[in-house]
Amino acid sequence: MQSVSEFRLAVTEVLLYSAIISIAVFWCRYKWNNRHIDKLGSKMKGPPAYPIIGSALELLGTPEQVINALLGFYKNYGSEPFKVWLGPFFGVYIIKPEDVQIVLNNSKALQKDRFYEFIKNIFGEGLLTAPVDKWRKHRRLITPSFNANLLSQFFPVFNEKNKILIRNLKKELGKTQPFDLWDYIAPTTLNLICQNAMGYNLDSHSQCGSEFEKAMTKASELDSIRIYKPWLFPNIFFSLYLRLQGQSNVFKTLKKLPLKMINEKKRSFCTKETIVMNNTDEEKKNLKVFLDTLFELNETGANFSDNDILDEVVTMTIGGSETSAITLCFSLLLLAIHSDIQNKVYDEIYDVLGEGDQTITTEDTTKLVYLEQVLKETLRLFPVLPIVIRELQDDVKIISGNHLLPKGTTCYIAPLFTHRDCDSYPNPLNFNPENFSQENISKRHKYSFIAFSGGPRRCIGSKYAMLSMKVMMSTFLRNYSVHTNCKFNDIKLKLDLLLRSANGYPVFIQTRDRRPSYKLN
């Protein structure tokens, strides 16, 4: 018996020592293979990092605490590149415009980082998350759907849906309690993209839209939590976390509306019917939407699979609704805080559109210069996508610090930080639309404003977004003035996949006196 016990002890010791030696060998090999990264990291400032989890402890907490931690990084380390470890992955924050331009335009920096794998349960492999080869093919095929001539066809829908918004807002007139702009703006932007891109009218399917919005918000929260918690990186642990949270079906729920739109369009496409608004105009009956284009491309050999189509529809639906809704809500809240700027915006709208209720045209939007400055200044202060992540496929040299970023480095391009660089924007925390006057734009680096990203993988829908937001803002402000009890410093941020207001967008509205402020004075 003693011999057996000694044998078992000997075997246990051998296994234990073997395990220790294996771990030591693995660790030494890992450190040797990454010695160039360690050498770079030793030259950079950054938050403290620990074995296995990296700097994750700095980013624990609620979505509000996460964004505050990130802003704390910027406060501590400034605009020079600084390092951060998320789990075992080394990353560098790139902030200065000249460095941002180098990275975003480098052919070896087009690959989205491994962290985008965590949001593929939402977007699949649409344009946002697709690997480079797939992205190149799809981008080339899809880009013609967003040319200027086709964008002009959306104005009848813009005007119709915004009239509905104005009618719905009437119920808030005269109330003593503020309401949240999100409750009205988000359904409208979702309806717009569904009608304009998918040929699907959500007016008669409002429950589908509401279900989609709630699922999107929850899915964003869940996926963002995963990015900052290395113990949720393995799919098996994340699936267990979803079950424990009672959210196993949230991603399935998110796909219901996109699948419904695809199936309905597929039926009409096969029978050569077109789903349109209730309109007898013959030209509008023949409008071709984004989803039509995908099916037509398949007929000519593009070979989009059913999953490819679903992924692009989900990406387009979220990208064309959620991002615009957030920016519009922030813009209106900022105008409510800054009544003098709101008056200046309204004066421009009045000069362009007059007192009547005529619908806005493409030509009108080009004249709303100051309104565009307001929207861009909103995006500067509150970029909807505050961080873009790229994985280097080869070494890339940046200007700041003359650093050579080695292959495999995660690059965090942070519009939230770049837009707050004092060298580009004096008093960067002030809301000042004059930052985007032509004179001031000409003084700055092109990549000092990257709300729509930049380089080959910049946002494909930026022109659509600006047009739709101009139409909604001008329609809203022609009919109502907007007010709030909030101060600028009361705006608290939170970060899931997108940057949002933690406390909503509380405002009051009053019926607009259809005279410009300069005539009232």
Residues that constitute the known binding site for heme: 459
Residues belonging to the binding site are 459
Rounded to the nearest 10 degrees, how much is the dihedral formed by the CA atoms of 112, 114, 118, 124? 50
And the tokens for 35?
Answer: 């010695």
The rounded distance, in Å, linking the Cα atoms of 422 and 413 is: 17
With 0-12 / 13-18 / 19 or more C-beta atoms within 10 angstroms meaning exposed / middle / buried, residue 51 is exposed
The rounded distance, in Å, linking the Cα atoms of 408 and 34 is: 10
> What is the CA angle 428-430-436, rounded to 5?
70
Which residues pair with residue 54 across a beta bridge? 50, 86
Dihedral pair phi/psi, residue 83, rounded to 5°? -95, 155
Rounded to the nearest 10 degrees, how much is the dihedral formed by the CA atoms of 44, 45, 48, 52? -20
With 0-12 / 13-18 / 19 or more C-beta atoms within 10 angstroms meaning exposed / middle / buried, residue 130 is buried
* Measured CA distances, 50 to 47, 84, 86, 93, 359 (Å): 10, 11, 10, 19, 59
And the tokens for 383?
Answer: 């970029």
* Measured CA distances, 225 to 101, 128, 221, 339 (Å): 29, 19, 6, 37
In contact, 159 and 359? CB cutoff 8 Å: yes
In contact, 195 and 201? CB cutoff 8 Å: yes
Query: How many Cβ atoms from other residues are within 10 Å of residue 159's Cβ?
Result: 15
Query: How many Cβ atoms from other residues are within 10 Å of residue 377's Cβ?
Result: 23
Q: Can you say how many angstroms the Cα of residue 125 is from the centroid of all Cα atoms in its chain?
A: 16
Return the exposure string of 446-469: e unless at least 16 CB atoms fall within 10 Å of the residue's CB, then b.
ebbbbbbbbbebebbbeebbbbbb
For tokens 């501590």, what's the residue? 76
The rounded distance, in Å, linking the Cα atoms of 382 and 375 is: 10
DSSP code string of 31-51: HHHTHHHHHHHHTS-----BT
* Measured CA distances, 55 to 24, 52, 228, 496, 513 (Å): 22, 9, 9, 18, 54
In contact, 511 and 173? CB cutoff 8 Å: yes
Residues with Cβ within 8 Å of 134's Cβ and at least 6 positions away in sequence, in order, are: 125
